[in-house]
Amino acid sequence: MNLRKNIGWWIVGLFFIVPYLNLFRLDIQGGHYYWMTKRLSFDQPLPLLLTILLLVFLVIGLSTFRARLFCSTLCPHNTVSKALRALEKRRLDKPVAVVLTPLIAFTLISYFDEPRLALHGILYGQSPMALAFFVVLCLFLGSLLWKLRSKFCQNVCPYGFLQHLFTPDNPTRVAKIGVATLLLLLAVAMTVAALSTSASEVSFKQVSRVETGSTITYVYNLGLTNNNATTAEHFTIKFAPDAPQPIGLDVHDAIEVGPGATKVVTFALRTARLVTVQFEVCTEHEGTCKPFNVTLSN
Ligand code: SF4
C-alpha cells in the first residue's frame, strides 16, 4: 500500500472517530463545540473560526502543490469510491455500500449533535429533525455509494467544478512556500487559541433585593460551568477583606464541578451604606481568575 493510499484511509478513519471522541464537533443544541475533547462555548468562537479557516485554506491551498492533490489523496469520498470499485468484481460493492450508508450518515450528524442523543432521537423518533436529516443523508449517500461514485466528482461536487480556479497553471516556488507558511501559521494560531481559551465559565446575576430598615440584602446566583469534558474543576471564591462578606457561602471550601457540568451557588451581601464589593472566582485545575465588582447601596 503506498503512502497516498495510507493517507486516504487515515482520513477515512479520522472521519469516523473524530466526533465520537469529541476531538472536533459542534453541539448546536447545547451551544458548545468540542476541540480536542475541550468543550468550549460558542461565545468563545476564535478556535472554531480558525479551525474552519484552516480547513478551507487546506482544501483550496493544496492545489498549489499539485493539481487535484486534495481529491487524489485526502478526499474520503474518493478513497471509499475506489475501494468500492475494487470490490465490484466480487460483487461485494453493493452490500458494503448498504452497510456504509447509515454509518456515514449518522457520523455526519454526530459532527453537529451529541451522538447518544441523536441515536436516541433517530431510533425512537424523539427528534424529528435528526430523523429527517438521517433519512435525507441516507438517500443522498446511498445514491453516491451505490451508483454515482466518481460520476459525483465530474457532475455534482462543487470542488470538482471549481478545481481550475484554485489550481494555478504554473505555481512558483515562492507561491508554494507562501501557501505552506500560511497553513502553518493558521495551524499554530488555531492551537494557541484553543489551548489558551478558558474551559470554565462564570456567570453572575442578581436575583433579589430585600430592604429591612436601613439595611439592604442583595441575593445573587453565581453559575460555575466546567466545560472540560474529562476533568473535574475546583472553583474558589475570594472576597476582598475590607467589604461586606458573603452570607450563605463558605468561601474556605473549593466548589467542585464535574466534567461538563454546571453548579449554581446562591449567596447574599448585606449593606447599610454605599460600598463596592470586589471578589474573584479562581479555577484550581486551569489556574485562571475572573474578577467581579459589585456596587451596593442602601
Ligand atoms: S471532486 Fe469532490 S468528491 Fe470528488 S474527489 Fe474531489 S473533492 Fe472529493
Measured N-to-C along each axis, helices 76-87 and 93-110 cross at an angle, to the nearest 10 degrees, of 160
Nearest protein Cα to ligand 1, atom 6: 71
Residues 6+ positions from 226 with CB-CB distance below 8 Å:
199, 200, 232, 233, 257, 258, 259, 260, 261, 262
CA gap 197, 42 in Å, rounded = 12
Q: What is the pLDDT of residue 50?
A: 96
pTM (2 decimals)? 0.75
Q: What is the pLDDT of residue 1?
A: 54
Homologous superfamily of 200-296 in CATH?
A: Immunoglobulins (2.60.40.10)
**What residue type is assigned to position 103 of the chain?**
L
CA 189–ligand 1 middle distance (angstroms):
28
Report strand pairing: 255-257 vs 262-271. unpaired
Give the DSSP H/E element, type plus range, for residue 203. strand 200-212
For residue 134, give Cα distances in angstroms to 112, 123, 143.
12, 11, 14
In this structure, the residues whose C-beta lies within 6 A of any atom of ligand 1 are: 71, 75, 77-78, 152-153, 157, 159-160
Q: What is the pLDDT of residue 298?
A: 64
CA 67–ligand 1 middle distance (angstroms):
12
Residues 6+ positions from 130 with CB-CB distance below 8 Å:
109, 113, 118, 121, 122
Q: Which of 145, 150, 288 is nearest to 227 (CA)?
A: 288
CA gap 272, 161 in Å, rounded = 72
Domain(s) labelled CATH 2.60.40.10 in the chain stretch across: 200-296
CA 58–ligand 1 middle distance (angstroms):
14
Strand partners, 200: 226
CA 64–ligand 1 middle distance (angstroms):
16
CA gap 280, 269 in Å, rounded = 15
For residue 102, give Cα distances in angstroms to 20, 91, 106, 108, 134.
15, 20, 6, 10, 8
Q: Which residue among 72, 145, 153 is best mutated to probe the pocket of ligand 1, counting the most ligand atoms within 8 A of its Cβ?
A: 153
Nearest protein Cα to ligand 1, atom 3: 153
Chain Cα centroid distance, residue 257:
21
pLDDT tens for each residue of the chain, 298 residues long = 576 678 999 999 999 999 999 999 999 888 889 998 888 888 889 999 999 999 999 888 888 888 788 888 889 999 999 999 999 988 899 999 999 999 999 999 999 999 999 999 999 888 888 899 999 999 999 999 988 888 888 878 888 777 767 676 777 888 889 999 999 999 999 999 988 887 788 989 999 999 888 889 999 999 999 887 778 999 999 999 888 899 988 878 899 999 888 999 999 999 888 889 999 999 998 888 899 999 887 6
Q: What is the pLDDT of residue 42?
A: 87
Q: What is the pLDDT of residue 148?
A: 83
Is the C-alpha dihedral spanning 111, 112, 116, 122 positive or negative? negative
Nearest protein Cα to ligand 1, atom 7: 71
CA 152–ligand 1 middle distance (angstroms):
8
CA 163–ligand 1 middle distance (angstroms):
9
